[in-house]
Amino acid sequence: MKCNYIGDAWVGSSNASRNLNPSDLNDVVGEYAAADATQAADAISAAYGAFSGWSLSTPQQRFDALDFVGSELLARKAELGDLLAREEGKILPEAIAEVARAGQIFKFFAGEALRIQGERLASVRSGVDVEITREPVGVIAIITPWNFPIAIPAWKIAPALAYGNCVVFKPAEPVPGSAWALAEILSRSGLPAGVFNLVMGRGSEVGQALLNDRRVAAVSFTGSAATGMRVAQACAARMARFQLEMGGKNPLVILDDADLKVAVDIAVQGSFFSTGQRCTASSRIIVTDAIHDRFVKATVTAMARLRVGDARAAGTDIGPVADAGQLEQDLTYIDVAQREGATVAFGGTLLHREAPGLYLQPTLLTNATNAMRSSREEIFGPVASVIRVRDYDQALAVANDTDFGLTAGICTTSLKHAMHFKRNAQAGMVMVNVPTAGVDYHVPFGGRKGSSFGPREQGRHAQEFYTVVKTAYTSA
């Protein structure tokens, strides 16, 4: 059994969880100790105890630890990518790229640790200096979802440590393997005992214990909107800092003047790659009249070429759905959409492969309206709806008519429309002629409205969440 990491010890538990390979449910990936609320409290104690020392650590110490982790992730990307593909179900090239990205993120924040800056201003009073500095926040609880089992933990853990905080990390239940592998590397990175801790286990028990403990100064959460609301309420009740990244219902607008081939590629990649299980996936494809029929026909043709199968088999384009509960949710929405009047233009059914896996055909729904539940609620699977509109103005209105605001994309060759869309799309990230999913690791990531709350993640902007500002006045 793989254990939790608390203080500098690997700690077992009487309860274990087994994670299954969604490409082959007969394949048990591993057994992982399930922590309980007491072990969560122990991890917080360890982190709390380590904070006074780590908060004063030098930039060089932080650089060395983060750079070590980054280098090892990059060196082991093939091996860890295989584990990730096996437990989460994204295809091997995507999984390897995710591990590499996690490595790059650690390297980026290793550099940031050397570049923590302050400001010095002239005071309005003579003989007084004013300095503005950034200090670490304290113990940070990091709670993550299953769909990016190593990149999301990386983009929270790396800045937390770079800016001098201590971490208690709780990964999502279906993907303890990638989390454990990352923790194991961190355990050898030279961090003092207690600076980083891993507690695997149920959200309702371990996660909730982290939210309620007054020694946890801040919570960085990525996951569903429903859990995000719980995080917000628990943190607000005790005035803890929190940051939420939640769902999306991302629009991709295709205008008459789009390059059809580019538009189809972007729609297929954005909607169905990673089995559509990306918060940034295109789920509402909003298409103007004159290109609509050609776009649907070409997209269906492209979808028919996608090979759905074992995530680790050569040639697979789309892996399985990550777990049984998610598959049920996908099928329910496909059914609901049809009852509401949408048409399944492609897909919609389960696929059977040699091994028992959670295989769903990528699904394109046409004749959809923006009022349908399938257009308003996050599905989080390989399912996208095509909504037909008159013109650009209507497309923009439909794109913005949503409770979410993570990414918004447009395919057009019109500079005028591209510029207008960039300015007026109500989303944290706007994509012109690139897929709604797929972002750089050195620039801010986050959304608006129901998709996000709090400062941005990633890039230099991450310091807003992971530091507190101090203003000091000095007179000699």
Q: Is 166 a catalytic residue?
A: no
Site for ligand NAD in 264-293 (CB under 6 A): 279
Site for ligand NAD in 130-169 (CB under 6 A): 143-148
Cα dihedral across residues 243, 69, 44, 3: positive or negative: positive
Tell me how far, at minimum, the Cβ of 419 lies from ligand NAD, in Å: 26
- How far apart CA 339 and CA 317 sit, in angstroms, is 30
Among 204, 301, 424, 471, interactor with ligand NAD by CB under 6 A: 204
> Per CB under 6 A, which region of 87-95, 205-213, 388-396, 415-423 contacts ligand NAD?
205-213
Report the Cα–Cα distance between both ends of the chain, in Å, rounded.
60
CB within 8 A of 222, min separation 6: which ones? Answer: 143, 144, 145, 152, 156, 244, 245, 246, 279
Among 173, 213, 310, 330, interactor with ligand NAD by CB under 6 A: 173
> Per CB under 6 A, which region of 30-38, 75-83, 207-215, 391-399 contacts ligand NAD?
207-215
Tell me how far, at minimum, the Cβ of 226 lies from ligand NAD, in Å: 6
| Three-class secondary structure of residue 2 per DSSP | strand
Q: Which entry of 279, 378, 411, 457 is annotated as an active-site residue? A: 279
DSSP 121-169: EE-SSTTEEEEEEEEE-SEEEEE--SSSTTHHHHHHHHHHHHTT-EEEE
Q: Is 279 a catalytic residue?
A: yes
Per-residue binder mask for ligand NAD (CB under 6 A), 80-119, x = binder? ----------------------------------------
- Nearer Cβ to ligand NAD, position 207 or 459? 207
CA distances from 391 to 291, 394, 396 (A): 11, 6, 9
316: left (phi over 0), alpha (psi -120 to 50) or beta: beta
Q: Chain centroid to CA 422: how far?
A: 23
Among 81, 103, 176, 223, interactor with ligand NAD by CB under 6 A: 223
Among 17, 61, 71, 224, interactor with ligand NAD by CB under 6 A: 224
Among 248, 270, 381, 405, interactor with ligand NAD by CB under 6 A: 248
Other CB atoms closer than 10 Å to residue 269's CB: what's the count? 18
Q: Where are the beta strands (DSSP E) in 227-281?
A: 241-245, 250-254
Q: Which residues bind ligand NAD (CB under 6 A)?
A: 143-148, 170, 172-173, 203-204, 207-208, 211, 222-224, 227, 230, 245-248, 279, 378, 380, 406, 451
Catalytic positions, written as ranges: 245, 279
